[in-house]
Amino acid sequence: MTDQAIRHDWTLNEVHALFNQPLNDLLFRAQSMHRRWHAANTVQISTLLSIKTGGCPEDCKYCPQSIHYETGLDAHALLPLEDVVAAAQKARDAGATRFCMGAAWRSPTNSQTRKVSELVAAVSELGMETCATLGMLTADQAGQLAQAGLDYYNHNLDTSPEYYGEIITSRTYQDRLDTLAHVRTAGMHVCCGGIVGMGETRHDRAGLLRQLANLPEHPESVPINNLMQVEGTPLHGTEPLSPLELARCVAVARILMPKAVVRLSAGRTELSEEAQALCFFAGAGSIFCGDQLLTTPNPSFDADMAMFDALGLAAAPAGQ
């Protein structure tokens, strides 16, 4: 397959047609696509650290870090450099090749951006890929992070443009697209996906993936997050998404964005090993390892390694 086969002009009807295929046909097509662009049976291991927790003024209905909801979260200010470096070293020694840093800001101040840039530079010196999610960025802030050596910037679209207002009202869809454009202009890789299981329809899941696939450049990294329901947030009690539908989402993302690494991200504690195996077959090529994501639980490292062993999967080497 050549780059000419990678499209940015998908119609919603075409994406729906992918979703509506018999599952075996969809998975076969997705796995075939995956093997054309990615090493078979390898999964990248990333680790996520909340470097600043809680106190976010946004009203994202899924997020326990919002000041609008009572979730019992233990908030903390920006972690000192030595704590972040120690966490990154521990993750590297356990086999992680990418270290992701998350801060609960609507958008960082210039002073906060400088401090995070210092963290990025220190983690880069350990030989790890770096990723950060800090909220909305200006063009100058994106440039500063890129200069510090940030490899990836995560800024999810979350859901379709049509359903977005049901989930968030404190920033617009265009705000998110503007940050992605600043990240691209600065020369960083884009990590951008969404959350499924928030009460949206398949139409919205198709709309999200179409939006991602029709960006001028596909994100290099596409996280598919299965909603982690947290008591106190408005989405607590939402009907969970079927694991088979989650696998369909992964498969469609793989087909639409062949060169991207599709990441099976949050919500794996709600999935059986069999459901996760289906997602790997559908084209997921990365997971977060470690007992906790930003503020929600995650399978233990030992459990993940046991699953890899049972499935015949191997951790991808750095740079893959």
- pTM check: above 0.75: yes
Residue 7 lies in a domain: no
Asked whether residue 16 is assigned to any structural domain, the reply reads no
pLDDT at 290 over 50: yes
- pLDDT digits 0-9 by tens, 186-241: 999 999 999 999 999 999 999 999 999 999 999 999 999 999 999 999 999 999 99
Domain annotation covers residue 56: yes
Percent pLDDT > 90 in the chain is 78
The CATH number of residue 224's host domain is: 3.20.20.70
What is the rounded CA–CA span in Å between residue 216 and residue 213?
8
94 in any annotated domain = yes
- Give me the number of domains the chain comprises: 1
CA angle at 126 for the pair 124 and 132, rounded to the nearest 5°: 40
- What does the alpha-carbon distance between residue 102 and residue 6 come to, in Å, rounded to a whole number? 31
Question: Is residue 73 a part of any domain in this protein?
Answer: yes
For residue 73, the model assigns a pLDDT of 80
Residue 60 and residue 167 in contact, taking contact as beta carbons nearer than 8 Å: yes
Residue 6 located in a structural domain: no
- Per-residue pLDDT at 276 exceeds 60: yes
* Active-site annotation, residues: 56, 60, 63, 100, 131, 191, 263
8 Å CB contact between 2 and 200 = no
Spell out the residues 6+ positions from residue 283 whose beta carbon is closer than 8 angstroms to its own. 30, 31, 33, 34, 38, 250, 251, 253, 254, 255, 262
Q: What phi, psi does 310 have (nearest 5°)? A: -65, -35
Domain housing 135: 26-308
Average pLDDT over residues 64-88: 90
